[in-house]
Structure 1
Amino acid sequence: MGFFDFFSSKPSTKKFGQIVINYARANGFQQPINFDEAEFRLVVGDNASHVLNLHNAYRDYCAVPKHQRDTVLLKYTAGLKIEGIPDDFASAKAHLMPSLKPRGQGEYLRLTSKIQDKEMSYDAAALPFSDDAVLMLAYDTEHSMALVNKSNYESWGVTMEQALAAALDNLRDRTADHFVDLGHGLVAGVWDDAYDSSRILLHDLAYRANCGSDPVMMIPSRGRFLLTASNAIAGQLKMIEVARLSSETDGRTVSACMYKIKGDQLVVYTPEDASVREQLNNLRTSFFAEDYGSQKELLDALHDKNGDDTFVASFTVFKNNDTDKLTSLCTWTRGVISLLPKTDLVAMVTPGATDDKYESKILSWADAVSMAAPLMQEVEGYPVRYLVREFPEAGQLQAAAETPL
């Protein structure tokens, strides 16, 4: 079993920041622009009135051939021409669109706001969608797109559910049936307008995709809506493969879940076939690795700022070279106050007299919780972490069954 590396090296982010600034200037943008290297973003305007995060732009820019890079720059710098969201709902509703977002994006905002002492949150402007995604609304015009926030709903005098109804009508008006066959019973909806994944909300559309009466769906990234039949094992395996590739190349991940329609609701679906379940678990593990990695970086920065010496444990992933199965592991060390991610396995470490002298025992997550649940305090955040201040008694640990790595 070997370590599985999700985080490959990248070209200079500092140079990319300057490329974006130069492109914006060449196309007539005159407002002040400052590159925030630490947060990898552009801060725009005399009063820093707008922030353009560069992570997705950078990934898109690096992923396309050189002759397409100006198109990527045009797409992202167009967002610098900011148009305010109207204060009245009548003026705004024609431009509202539903937008599915990964929960990890909300965690990024939450922790960044704490680091910067500036309140930012999705919570008051997002509806729960699934384990790893939320539903928000976007105000989308020809030149800019902005997420609708709590203050917008307050000024409009409407609930998010009422505004969502208008957004769904707008999405339906923009949605002709446009499906392509990817083989093995897998179908993709293709519209290329930043709302492909949102169309999972249009249940009647799924039934017109020629996947039978019980379609299974995935929305791994903003630009992917994948469908196959509930009894099509080959189609589900192909769907997971395409989902993995799109999450790596598209950049804007949304969800690693499978979905089905139950009554008038979308529900998370657990595949019946064991081989499909294993491949789906691999995909979910890779998504968690990205989310936990980003979360750890931000928590470490927040702890440095606050003088907090709590150890933020890593979400480490191993790959079985024979089966390709991915397994996650974290380390719980005696005497170290830690924030543990939820992993498949937990390495219970008892330090010795020197750094190279220690004892360790690998437990399954279920066995670790069974043994030490009173010592594990769930804390705010996504993905979930548990604060541990104490370590299980030696007798408890000795009695626990070890899980082979």
Structure 2
Amino acid sequence: MGILDLFNRTPSPAKFARIVMQAARERGFDGPMEFDASNFRIVMGKNDVVNLHNFYHDYCQAPRAKRDEVVARYSHLFVRSDIPDSFEAARGNLLPVLRTRAFLQAARFAPLLDAGVKETEFAMADFSADTALLLAYDTEHLTRVLGMEQLAAWGVSLEEASAIAIDNLRDLAAEKFVQLSPTQFASDWNDAYDSSRLLLADLVHRVAGPQPVAMIPTRGRMLLSATRGKADLLALLQNAKAAIDQEGRRVSMLMYEFVDGRALPYRPEDEEAASLLADLQRIALQEDYAEQKQLLEQVHEKQGVDLFVATYMLYKGEDERLFSVATWTEGVDALLPRTDKLAFVGMNDAGETRSAGVLDWERVEAAAGHLMQLDPDSYPPRYRVKRFPDLASLGLQ
């Protein structure tokens, strides 16, 4: 250990992994453990992994005197107790979890990166454009997201299990909200299921009245606005951004309203609020695309595939609003992210690259959509482009 390590409040990812593995040993875990630095996780045998991103975030955010408590809170990740064979024995521990759809992509790529990892078909349903509804088996020492294989073994349908899980969530604890202002409320269960309570419309209405707007920016926070006025929606967005900055574990960057007892996406009528909401969504997409790019490049390297994964880039316009851009380069087989604009890079007669202009995505799609093949399995979406469009057809030279 160098002298600087003694004064460094934030351990490096590798040092943090060593801290975690030592703590696991001290708590009695005697199985294999290996630090996978490229994916920032600890691999335990063939199919068990502990992802360290959220653990590391909470550890670094905590005061030094509280870091042992963070380690203790996460120690259940290394307890490999079995899920009951009987559904009757398990049903009381089922709970619903809402997760960003990007959460699923790491699981999809895992078997491609490690032949020893079995592909998992999660017990899940689409919830919104950026969020999926999954099921978890939850005890004091174990929280495991379930697959369809487990439901099949129990002989229960996804719909039946989901209904039971939501009833269990309703029975967990009494209402716990902090009133931030006369019209703003923040959940305060802090039990990792705050965001899941978006599924409980009756609870939301009791707290925030007949026309609430909700956000679930993180796993540990549901935010409510009792009205839809401009000032209140801007306050809701500010609170959502603060929750993400402080807590991590992003879930959804949508606003929700409640129709016939269901949470549905809501777009603010006020254009300033709508623009700020769209900016938060672009920032979230930039993070998701960056993670996806890293995973795709690892898979391509392993498979020997020469396929460029384009970057999702954000810029500010003259109006200070964000817009996204990706580059489509002549002669390059690529996967493009869905962006607001596409920048074209052509080749001159000498074989040198040159900027050919920037166009809105919709205009490009209308003229050259036949060259853009959507990958049906990708989230966020990507488009395979093998051929370069005729620039003249796009009004470019």
How does the TM-score come out when normalised to structure 2? Answer: 0.92
Residue 31 of structure 1: CA displacement?
Answer: 2.9
1:120 aligns with 2:119: yes
User: Residue type matched to 1:345 in 2?
Assistant: K
Q: State which drifts further: 359-368 or 322-331.
A: 322-331
Structure 1 residue aligned with 2:357: 361
Residue 27 of structure 1: CA displacement?
Answer: 3.1
1:21 aligns with 2:21: yes
Residue 354 of structure 1: CA displacement?
Answer: 6.5
Structure 2 residue aligned with 1:298: 295
Structure 2 residue aligned with 1:37: 37
User: Residue type matched to 2:105 in 1?
Assistant: E
**C-alpha distance after superposition, 1:351-393 (max 9, x if no partner):** 3367875132010111111111111100021000000111111
> Given that residues 171 and 199 in structure 1 are in contact (C-alpha distance below 8 angstroms), is that contact kept between their aligned partners in structure 2?
yes
> Given that residues 313 and 325 in structure 2 are in contact (C-alpha distance below 8 angstroms), is that contact kept between their aligned partners in structure 1?
yes
- Give the match's secondary structure for 1:142: coil
| Separation (CA, whole Å) in 2 of partners of 1:77 and 1:352 | 59
> Given that residues 47 and 118 in structure 2 are in contact (C-alpha distance below 8 angstroms), is that contact kept between their aligned partners in structure 1?
no
> Given that residues 240 and 279 in structure 1 are in contact (C-alpha distance below 8 angstroms), is that contact kept between their aligned partners in structure 2?
yes
Residue 25 of structure 1: CA displacement?
Answer: 2.4
> Given that residues 356 and 396 in structure 2 are in contact (C-alpha distance below 8 angstroms), is that contact kept between their aligned partners in structure 1?
no
Q: State which drifts further: 192-201 or 58-67.
A: 58-67
| Separation (CA, whole Å) in 1 of partners of 2:324 and 2:109 | 24
1:145 aligns with 2:134: no
**C-alpha distance after superposition, 1:38-79 (max 9, x if no partner):** 3221123xx445211111111211122222211221122222
**C-alpha distance after superposition, 1:7-34 (max 9, x if no partner):** xxx8521111101012222333333322
Q: State which drifts further: 200-209 or 48-57.
A: 48-57
Q: State which drifts further: 211-220 or 196-205.
A: 211-220
| Separation (CA, whole Å) in 1 of partners of 2:18 and 2:237 | 37
| Separation (CA, whole Å) in 1 of partners of 2:304 and 2:30 | 40
Residue 319 of structure 1: CA displacement?
Answer: 2.7
| Separation (CA, whole Å) in 2 of partners of 1:112 and 1:264 | 37
| Separation (CA, whole Å) in 1 of partners of 2:62 and 2:299 | 34
Distance 1:111 1:30, change over 3 A: closer
- Give the match's secondary structure for 2:137: strand
User: Residue type matched to 2:356 in 1?
Assistant: S
1:135 aligns with 2:133: yes
| Separation (CA, whole Å) in 1 of partners of 2:324 and 2:219 | 26
1:231 aligns with 2:211: no
How does the TM-score come out when normalised to structure 1? Answer: 0.91
The one of 187, 192, 195 aligned to 1:194: 192
Distance 1:351 1:229, change over 3 A: farther
> Given that residues 333 and 391 in structure 1 are in contact (C-alpha distance below 8 angstroms), is that contact kept between their aligned partners in structure 2?
yes
Q: Which runs of 5+ in 2 are unaligned?
A: 1-9
Counterparts of residues 2-401 of structure 1 (less than 5 Å): 12-44=12-44, 47-48=45-46, 50-117=48-115, 118-122=117-121, 124-183=122-181, 185-209=183-207, 211-320=208-317, 323-352=319-348, 358-379=354-375, 380-398=377-395
Residue 114 of structure 1: CA displacement?
Answer: 1.5
> Given that residues 317 and 328 in structure 1 are in contact (C-alpha distance below 8 angstroms), is that contact kept between their aligned partners in structure 2?
yes
| Separation (CA, whole Å) in 2 of partners of 1:91 and 1:212 | 37
**C-alpha distance after superposition, 1:318-375 (max 9, x if no partner):** 134x644211100001111110000011101113367875132010111111111111
Structure 2 residue aligned with 1:3: none
> Given that residues 212 and 258 in structure 2 are in contact (C-alpha distance below 8 angstroms), is that contact kept between their aligned partners in structure 1?
yes
Pick 1 or 2: higher relative contact order, CA cutoff 8 A, min separation 6.
1
| Separation (CA, whole Å) in 1 of partners of 2:126 and 2:383 | 22
Q: Which runs of 5+ in 1 are unaligned?
A: 1-9, 401-405
Q: State which drifts further: 230-239 or 297-306.
A: 230-239
> Given that residues 186 and 236 in structure 1 are in contact (C-alpha distance below 8 angstroms), is that contact kept between their aligned partners in structure 2?
no
Distance 1:23 1:32, change over 3 A: same
| Separation (CA, whole Å) in 2 of partners of 1:55 and 1:264 | 34
Distance 1:344 1:193, change over 3 A: same
> Given that residues 106 and 121 in structure 1 are in contact (C-alpha distance below 8 angstroms), is that contact kept between their aligned partners in structure 2?
no
| Separation (CA, whole Å) in 2 of partners of 1:385 and 1:150 | 27
| Separation (CA, whole Å) in 2 of partners of 1:113 and 1:241 | 39
